[in-house]
Structure 1
Amino acid sequence: MNPTALQNINIGVDVGKSQLDIHIRPLDLFFTVENNDKGIKEAIKTIAKHQPKRIVVEATGRLEMPFIMACSEANLPFVIANPLHIKRFAGAIGRRAKNDRLDSELIAHYAEAIQPKLTELKAENIRLMSDLVIRRNQLLSMQTMEKNRIQILPKEMHSTIKPILTAMKNQIDKIEKKLIKLIDTCPEYHAKNTLLQSVPGIGH
């Protein structure tokens, strides 16, 4: 038997635009991976070995979605937590420090102490969310390529690229609106709708 199976393993994940900071409690293990497909796969592989009771991620509205989809596909128990609940917990235990490592440690401590209920998303919503996130990332990559191209091409060629950029932006906006509707089916996100609207790239 895996020794960690005998422990109540709780994991806190602090999600940033470029990286995931992960703390495993009570083992006091900390590691960081890039917030991309490769990094997420690495994180899931490491996390799965510890057979966690729960993996807690704050609800922000976009950055954590690929990681959550990966947890769901790997049948790992996850909690999408209302950031206000974690903030109140931090106040209750007198935590003031603010950096990525301490944030992930705080989230793991919250997971262990509060033992929040696991998040259950409808299977059809998870699949659609995953497809939408993948398609959004594809469009963003294509958009970046076209923006780079317009920087090196003569002005006479710009008129052939600008309509493409406009069309891509419209498609990205539509996808983000669909994501918001799906995200709102999760109570933790619905309660933080104002926070979702403040996330760059979502709801604007």
Structure 2
Amino acid sequence: MSGETFVGIDVSKARLDVAILPSGEIFAVDNTASGLAELLIRLSEAQPHLVVLESTGGLEQAAVLALYEAGWPATVLNPRRVRHFSRALGQHAKTDRIDAMVLARFAQTMQPEAQVPSNAFQWSLEAILTRRRQVVELLNMERNRLNSSQDAYVQQDLREVIHYLEGRREQLDQALRDAIQRNPKFQATYDVLTSTPGVGPVMAWTLLAQLPELGQLSRQKIANLVGVAPLNRDSGTVRGHRSIWGGRASVRQVLYMSAVSGVRWNPTLKAVYQHLIGNGKPTKVALVACMRKLLVYLNAMVRDQAPWQVQSVA
């Protein structure tokens, strides 16, 4: 353990600040192709046990992909986790170099699991899916404005914008379908996922793009990763309400919609939901349980590359 090397990388648009422990070395490279090549050369000398970066809205993607392709284990952290860790250390000053060292200390102390490597195809799929989500959000905003507008000219303008955005959404849907069809491995997994009642194209696209760990982790780990595993809130003799928290919010949001559909059309999830409601569980608790059940089923199906079969509720 003492001989292992941990690396923290603070990402900005122009630069990558890198800290290495236990040596304490700190350096910076440009966030460009040539800078990434220099980073990989420096890391080949350090032989890192784990590289940790912070999610920065996509600026980290090129670095993460380069690390994966070079074979270095890496993970991208939620900024909230890093912020809490920094406060626990009593580190209140903030610079890029300090942030890189905090990330390296997080890696050394907490040793989070390395993420399953993504590839260039997966990054592209996620980018298209993200753009689709943005277009859908714009559509909802314009529809709400149409519902509240009283002016005929504004209403017509809104209808034209809505028509345009609906066309853009259809084109993005087709781009996602075409991308999946060009990749036999992803197409096979897509077919497995969509064989499940309640799992439509958007759910399958989201899992393929944003949950590459699906089928490779245990049921508990995949539930924790997405954020649908209930967390205890106990202290002494007090037993608090179990709740879900953290995880990949974008995956969890789509999983929720699939669970809502599933409790109507999927016989297994419908039986689970009715059983929980019959035992007095609140609707929200029952739906979260169905989300977790559905995710666990899909995890096993992708692992075995086996289509949906009616599952035992027990």
- Do both share a fold (TM > 0.5)? yes
**Pairing 1:30-179 to 2, within 5 Å after superposition:** 30-121=26-117, 126-129=119-122
Aligned residues: 150
Does residue 191 of the first structure (1) align with residue 184 of the second (2)? Answer: no
Partner of 1:63: helix, strand, or coil?
A: coil
Q: Provide closer, same or farther for how the CA distance between residues 23 and 183 of structure 1 changes in structure 2, counting only shifts above 3 A.
A: farther
Name the aligned partner's letter for residue 25 of structure 1: L
Cα deviation, residue 129, structure 1: 3.5
Does residue 15 of the first structure (1) align with residue 8 of the second (2)? Answer: no
**Larger radius of gyration between Structure 1 and Structure 2:** 2
| Superposition TM-score, scaled by structure 1 size | 0.63
Deviations 1:116-164 (A, max 9, x none): 1111135xxx13045679xxxxxxxxxxxxxxxxxxxxxxxxxxxxxxx
Give the share of equivalent positions with the same residue, in percent.
Answer: 28
Please list every run of at least 4 consecutive aligned residues from structure 1 whose deviation after the TM superposition is greater than 4 angstroms: 130-133, 180-183, 186-190
Q: Distance in 2 between matches of 1:183 and 1:57?
A: 19
| Superposition TM-score, scaled by structure 2 size | 0.42
Instruction: Answer whether contact 2:9 2:18 (CA < 8 A) is retained.
Output: yes
- Which 5+ residue runs of structure 2 have no aligned equivalent? 127-167, 177-204, 213-224, 227-245, 251-314
Cα deviation, residue 46, structure 1: 0.5
Instruction: Answer whether contact 1:61 1:183 (CA < 8 A) is retained.
Output: no
Cα deviation, residue 49, structure 1: 1.3
Match of 1:29 in 2: 25
Query: Higher relative CO (CA 8 A, sep ≥ 6), structure 1 or 2?
Result: 1
- Which 5+ residue runs of structure 1 have no aligned equivalent? 134-169, 194-204
Instruction: Answer whether contact 2:125 2:209 (CA < 8 A) is retained.
Output: no
CA-atom RMSD in angstroms? 3.4
Instruction: Answer whether contact 2:123 2:209 (CA < 8 A) is retained.
Output: no
